[in-house]
């Protein structure tokens, strides 16, 4: 880790924990990482990857079943109004095997690919946001994925069959006073005197599925480990069964959207966790979480992309039907612009989602940056799509689905879709955290070369570092100016070749400017988050444009021109976005924002207490009903209903 005198003690400690938990080695060349170094490697994107015929057929079959079931049984508007998923819906999900989509068949799961998992989530999302959030939280970040990746044979044999048949899981990381800063985690676990159990205590907030979970993955501090004479914080992952003594649901949270999710504040008091329920190993919890999220984050981008596709269809129908001033609103320029933005975004989002799914299914590919990019880009653009769709529908977009139906109009769920989509920019890594993550990874090569210069290394080590870095930059930097002379992008349509040459020039410009900022600001660059955000956003825009180009060329070669207009619009429109971001690197109001914020903070009163009250646990009955695969008392009843009884 590079030492930085601009950090305070808490920042330094938090960054140290994050650095020690991140993946240090790249398993493969990363399309995104290369782009930030000025290397647009289209061999990683073209021909654009597609599902194999057998996998596609398997996906088609299960998606068709899920679609038919959802159309018959899932009323998203009713679920939203009731703020509760009915018991028969859980039973239906179990019967379809959707609690074990990616769990191997040997453990009773469907054993489907990442691509088909994402397709299933996308289909469910069209009917109910709360339902897809429940499924996603269960197997994207809940117990199944960590067990698949890191579980022992004994752990897999014990828990995966139960999860496949319908036991629900939750991921417990966030705390009332700790969000993306795990170094300050308060939940802790101590080894019992006999060494047989860990004694776990603490509180976890915003734990999706936590109110009804049968199993948790709980992140907790374990005793520090001394490394080179210094204490190193340890975060460990535990599998915890909800029926063990000392576990209480103390509050069910209510939200703007996805109102039927069972998300709550969970309290652990002296819970005895068997030592064999540690996953991956002591002190490896944060590494487990980060690795799990590489694949786990991909469900939300798929949901966003599918939602945009449906919004395109619905908005086009509406824009053709609604007539103002003598013609359909879609033919007015303002309407045309909105339709184009929605359709272009849908194609770009779907492209990025498909690409990351293919990387995941390929296996052995490092997709940490691509997964974070998909999560950030699709959720941000998805929110813009939802807002644009509502604006196009105007008053009818703001009106609820049930109100529209009651007065005889087509009940497009635009209002509910907008509310449900807002959480996507927050959950499983906020946009701000994704920016920081991508900034760190995009600078990895530079930091790897220069790290000894900013640490307590010997003079000999520093001189060797200067020599090594000098040799690298002596060839790398000139290529950023001259590299375009050797790029032809043969095999692409001439118009698309021109697009790629422009993207290539911008990627080399990005790498140069990022390098210049590193030289000018040194370690201070870490504190210029808005500047780093712009660099990251430029790279993301260029990467998505390159992927759109690769996909379009692949489709054109196959004789498919369906998406030509949408892709062409996106490529032209996003050039202006890239140019705006480059301009804002040097012309912005960042300093004025810092001055204003400082004045506001100095004049504000600090909240007296950010900690939760000592809430009494909600009553709950015990006992399992294995025919349903969920705890019998939880099937179709709310905690407040239990309390009332």
Residues 109-149: tens digit of each pLDDT: 999 999 999 999 999 999 999 999 999 999 988 999 999 99
Q: Would you place residue 633 in the very low, low, confident or very high pLDDT band (cuts 50, 70, 90)? A: very low
> What contacts 24+ positions apart, CB below 8 Å, involve 401-404?
401/77, 402/77, 402/81
Residue 145 CA from chain centroid, whole number: 15
Phi first, then psi: give them for residue 240, nearest 5 degrees. Answer: -125, 130
The better pLDDT of the pair 293, 398 is held by: 398
pLDDT at residue 18, rounded to an integer: 55
Q: Would you place residue 28 in the very low, low, confident or very high pLDDT band (cuts 50, 70, 90)? A: confident
pLDDT at residue 227, rounded to an integer: 79
CATH fold, domain 169-294, is Butyryl-CoA Dehydrogenase, subunit A; domain 2 (2.40.110)
CA gap 573, 557 in Å, rounded: 24
Q: Would you place residue 642 in the very low, low, confident or very high pLDDT band (cuts 50, 70, 90)? A: very low
pTM, to two decimals: 0.93
Looking at 7-16, 244-253, 342-351, 369-378, which range is the least confident one? Answer: 7-16
* Average pLDDT taken over every residue of the chain: 91
Kindly state the DSSP code that residue 152 receives in the 8-state scheme. Answer: -
Residue 230 scores a pLDDT above 90:
no
* Contacts with 484 (C-beta within 8 Å, 6 or more apart), sequence order: 501, 504, 505, 508
Q: Give the whole-number percent of the chain exceeding pLDDT 90.
A: 77
pLDDT at residue 7, rounded to an integer: 53
The tokens describing 386, both together, are 């939802």
How many CB atoms within 10 Å of residue 568?
17
Angle formed at CA 74 by CA 251 and CA 108, multiple of 5 degrees: 80
The tokens describing 571, both together, are 């490529």
Choice among 309, 401, 428, 441 that is catalytic:
428
Q: Which residue has the tokens 């930030």?
A: 36
pLDDT at residue 5, rounded to an integer: 57
Closest CA to 201 of 133, 100, 270: 270
pLDDT at residue 13, rounded to an integer: 58
Residue 609 scores a pLDDT above 90:
no
Residue 624 scores a pLDDT above 70:
no
How many CB atoms within 10 Å of residue 196?
11
pLDDT at residue 181, rounded to an integer: 74
pLDDT at residue 522, rounded to an integer: 83
Helix axes 368-393, 529-557, angle to 10 degrees: 80
Q: Would you place residue 639 in the very low, low, confident or very high pLDDT band (cuts 50, 70, 90)? A: very low
**CATH 1.20.140.10 domain range(s) in the chain:** 297-430
Residue 74 scores a pLDDT above 50:
yes
Each residue's pLDDT tens digit, 426-475: 998 899 999 999 999 999 999 888 877 766 777 888 788 888 889 999 99
pLDDT at residue 319, rounded to an integer: 97
**CATH 2.40.110.10 domain range(s) in the chain:** 169-294
Q: Would you place residue 204 in the very low, low, confident or very high pLDDT band (cuts 50, 70, 90)? A: very high
pLDDT at residue 206, rounded to an integer: 95
pLDDT at residue 602, rounded to an integer: 95
Each residue's pLDDT tens digit, 266-299: 999 999 999 999 999 999 999 998 888 888 899 9
Rounded mean pLDDT of 485-490? 81
Q: Give the whole-number percent of the chain exceeding pLDDT 70.
A: 91
CATH fold, domain 297-430, is Butyryl-CoA Dehydrogenase, subunit A; domain 3 (1.20.140)
pLDDT at residue 459, rounded to an integer: 80
The tokens describing 192, both together, are 């019992």
Full DSSP string of 294-334: HHHTTHHHHHHHHHHHHHHHHHHHHHHH-EETTEEGGGSHH
pLDDT at residue 628, rounded to an integer: 38
Active site residue 526: no
Range 443-597 has CATH code 1.20.140? yes
Q: Tell which phi-psi region holds residue 240, choosing left (phi > 0), alpha (psi between -120 and 50) or beta.
A: beta
Rounded mean pLDDT of 10-21? 55
Residue 483 scores a pLDDT above 90:
no
């Amino acid at each position: 880790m590079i030492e930085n005198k601009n950090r305070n003690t808490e920042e330094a400690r938090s960054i140290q924990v994050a650095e020690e938990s991140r993946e240090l080695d790249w398993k493969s060349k990363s399309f995104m990482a290369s782009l930030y170094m000025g290397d647009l490697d289209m061999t990683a994107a073209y021909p654009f990857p597609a599902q194999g015929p057998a996998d596609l057929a398997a996906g088609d079959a299960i998606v068709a079943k899920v679609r038919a079931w959802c159309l018959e049984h899932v009323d998203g508007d009713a679920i939203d109004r009731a703020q509760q998923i009915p018991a028969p819906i859980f039973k239906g999900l179990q019967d379809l095997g959707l609690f074990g989509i990616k769990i191997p068949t040997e453990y009773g799961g469907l054993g489907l690919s990442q691509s088909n998992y994402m397709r299933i989530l996308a289909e469910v999302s069209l009917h109910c946001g709360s339902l897809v959030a429940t499924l996603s939280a269960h197997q994207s970040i809940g117990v199944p994925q960590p067990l698949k990746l890191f579980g022992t044979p004994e752990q897999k044999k014990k828990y995966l069959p139960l999860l496949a048949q319908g036991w629900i899981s939750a991921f417990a990381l966030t705390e009332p006073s700790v969000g993306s800063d795990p170094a300050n985690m308060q939940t802790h676990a101590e080894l019992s005197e006999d060494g047989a159990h860990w004694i776990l205590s603490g509180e976890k907030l915003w734990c999706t599925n936590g109110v009804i979970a049968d199993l948790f993955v709980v992140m907790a501090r374990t005793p520090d480990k001394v490394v080179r004479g210094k204490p190193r914080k340890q975060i460990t992952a535990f599998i915890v069964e909800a029926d063990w003594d000392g576990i209480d649901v103390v509050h069910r949270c209510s939200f703007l959207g996805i109102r039927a999710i069972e998300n709550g504040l969970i309290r652990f008091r002296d819970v005895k966790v068997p030592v064999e329920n540690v996953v991956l190993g002591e002190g490896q919890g944060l590494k487990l979480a980060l690795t799990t999220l590489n694949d786990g984050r991909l469900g939300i981008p798929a949901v966003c992309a599918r939602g945009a596709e449906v919004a395109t269809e619905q908005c086009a129908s509406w824009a053709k039907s609604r007539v103002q001033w003598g013609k359909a609103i879609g033919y007015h320029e303002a309407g045309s612009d909105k339709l184009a933005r929605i359709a272009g975004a849908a194609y770009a989002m779907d492209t990025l989602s498909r690409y990351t799914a293919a990387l995941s299914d390929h296996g052995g590919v490092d997709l940490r940056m691509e997964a974070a990019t998909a999560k950030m880009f699709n959720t941000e653009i998805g929110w813009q799509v939802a807002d644009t769709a509502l604006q196009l529908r105007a008053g009818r977009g703001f009106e609820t689905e049930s109100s529209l139906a009651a007065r005889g109009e087509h009940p497009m769920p635009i209002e509910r879709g907008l509310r449900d989509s807002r959480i996507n920019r927050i959950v499983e890594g906020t946009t701000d955290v994704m920016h920081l993550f991508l900034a760190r990874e995009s600078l990895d090569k530079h930091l790897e070369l220069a790290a000894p210069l900013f640490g307590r290394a010997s003079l000999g080590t520093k001189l060797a570092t200067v020599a090594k870095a000098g040799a690298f930059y002596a060839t790398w930097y000139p290529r950023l100016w001259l590299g375009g002379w050797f790029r032809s992008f043969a095999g692409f349509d001439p118009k698309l070749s021109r697009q790629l040459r422009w993207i290539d020039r911008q990627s080399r410009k990005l790498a140069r400017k990022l390098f210049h900022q590193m030289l000018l600001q040194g370690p201070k660059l870490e504190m210029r988050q808005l500047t780093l955000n712009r660099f990251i956003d430029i790279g993301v825009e260029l990467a998505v444009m390159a992927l759109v180009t690769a996909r379009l060329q692949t489709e054109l070669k196959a004789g498919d021109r369906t998406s030509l207009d949408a892709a062409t619009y996106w490529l032209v429109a996003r050039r202006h976005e890239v140019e705006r971001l480059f301009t804002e690197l040097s012309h912005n109001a960042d300093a004025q924002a810092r001055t204003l914020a400082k004045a506001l903070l100095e004049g504000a009163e600090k909240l007296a207490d950010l900690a939760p009250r000592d809430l009494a646990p909600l009553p709950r009955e015990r006992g399992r009903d294995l025919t349903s695969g969920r705890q019998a008392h939880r099937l179709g009843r709310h905690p407040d209903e239990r309390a009332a009884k």
